[in-house]
């Protein structure tokens, strides 16, 4: 989570994992250097993936009071592309000390993308339950209870009200507008144009915002960091069965945002 500060606090970015968050964070911090993260770990390092509802807990802290009323936004991504990115990144960093608890490792380091997805969607998956409780809490329980996928569960946790997991997936779908707490969700596939729109709506000022073309040039000239890989197109990783399995688990996001394979 990042609070964008342009003279005063203007905007809150809620960072959903593997949805262009690195790009958005770096762009905002480049444009508004006084921006900050309102939460810290015990070791004083800044926390990144903080649910939006947590801002309400700051109302008792005078210097942070009012953050919950700021305009907020997050990003979302094509679910089929998301799974390939999640697998590739988790596998790539699997030997790093900080990544011991990532999904790739908790699923026993699957030998292929197909096996990775199959284990994720299988409620009888083999996994170290102790490490699940320690690193993921009731993450897998939520997946199985709602018959939902990784992206949907993270989406509900980051962007919705705290008690959303006590409801059925159909209730969540039918009451989406009343349950979600983030003001706007933009699609990674339209990131530059939608980011321009969000910043203009927030009241933030910057020379790059004088036109859509200037904003695009600013991003390209400053070479804003993105987490990009040179892997094949995501469709190359899927069989029809895997495509349908992900489509079923991520139906909430697919239907809400109009994604197609």
Q: What tens digit of pLDDT does each residue of 14-46 get?
A: 999 999 999 999 999 999 999 998 877 666 666
Q: What is the mean pLDDT of residues 225-234?
A: 73
pLDDT score recorded for residue 87? 94
- Integer Cα distance of 208 and 231 in angstroms: 32
Closest Cα partner for 235 from 79, 51, 128, 93?
79
Average pLDDT, the chain: 87
Residue 108 pLDDT: 86
Contact 204, 5 (CB under 8 A): no
Checking if the pLDDT of 228 tops 70, the result is no
To which H or E segment does residue 36 belong? Answer: none
More confident: 84 or 161: 84
pTM for the complete prediction?
0.89
Percentage of the chain beyond pLDDT 90 is 61
Percent of the chain with pLDDT over 70: 87
Q: Out of 46-55, 74-83, 86-95, 208-217, which region has the weakest mean confidence (pLDDT)?
A: 46-55
Question: Mean pLDDT over residues 88-104, rounded?
Answer: 85
Distance between CA atoms of residues 72 and 86, nearest Å = 25
Instruction: Count CB atoms within 10 A of the CB of residue 20.
Output: 22
List, for residues 172-214, the tens digit of each pLDDT value: 999 999 999 999 999 999 999 999 999 999 999 999 999 999 9
Token digits for 58?
A: 């700051």
- Pairwise pLDDT comparison (228 vs 138), residue with the higher score: 138
Q: Give pLDDT, residue 43.
A: 63
Which whole number is the average pLDDT over 61-75? Answer: 78
Provide the CB-side half-sphere exposure for 203 (13 A, CA): 11
pLDDT of residue 62: 56
User: Does the pLDDT of residue 133 top 60, yes or no?
Assistant: no
Rg (CA), the chain: 19
In 3-state terms the chain splits into helix, strand, coil percentages (rounded to 5) of 55, 10, 35
DSSP 2: E
Kindly tell me if the per-residue pLDDT of 156 is higher than 90.
Answer: yes
- Say how far apart CA 17 and CA 249 lie, in whole Å: 18
Residue 225 confidence (pLDDT) above 90? no
CA distance 104 to 93: 9
The winner for highest mean pLDDT among 56-65, 97-106, 209-218 is: 209-218
> Which distant-in-sequence residues (6+ apart) come within 8 Å of 209 by Cβ?
196, 199, 200, 215
**Residue 64 corresponds to which tokens in the numbers above?**
């942070």
Tokens of 220: 């390209």
């Amino acid at each position: 989570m990042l609070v964008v500060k342009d003279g005063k606090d203007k905007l809150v970015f809620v960072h959903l994992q593997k949805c262009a968050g690195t790009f958005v964070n770096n762009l905002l911090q480049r444009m508004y250097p006084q921006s900050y993260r309102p939460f810290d770990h015990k070791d004083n390092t800044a926390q990144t993936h903080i649910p939006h509802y947590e801002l309400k807990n700051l109302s008792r802290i005078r210097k942070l009071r009012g953050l919950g009323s700021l305009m907020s936004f997050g990003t979302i991504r094509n679910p089929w592309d998301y799974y390939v990115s999640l697998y590739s990144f988790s596998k790539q960093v699997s030997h790093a000390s900080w990544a011991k608890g990532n999904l790739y490792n908790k699923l026993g380091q699957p030998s292929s993308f197909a096996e990775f997805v199959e284990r994720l969607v299988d409620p009888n998956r083999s996994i170290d339950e102790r490490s699940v409780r320690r690193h993921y809490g009731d993450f897998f329980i939520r997946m199985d209870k709602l018959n939902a996928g990784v992206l949907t569960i993270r989406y509900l946790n980051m962007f919705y009200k705290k008690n959303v997991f006590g409801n059925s997936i159909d209730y969540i779908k039918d009451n989406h507008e009343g349950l979600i707490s983030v003001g706007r969700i933009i699609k990674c596939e339209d990131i530059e144009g939608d980011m321009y729109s969000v910043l203009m709506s927030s009241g933030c000022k910057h020379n790059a915002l004088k036109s859509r073309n200037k904003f695009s040039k600013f991003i390209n000239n400053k070479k804003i960091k993105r987490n990009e890989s040179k892997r094949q197109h995501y469709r190359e990783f899927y069989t029809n069965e895997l495509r349908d399995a992900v489509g079923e688990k991520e139906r909430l996001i697919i239907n809400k945002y109009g994604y197609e394979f």
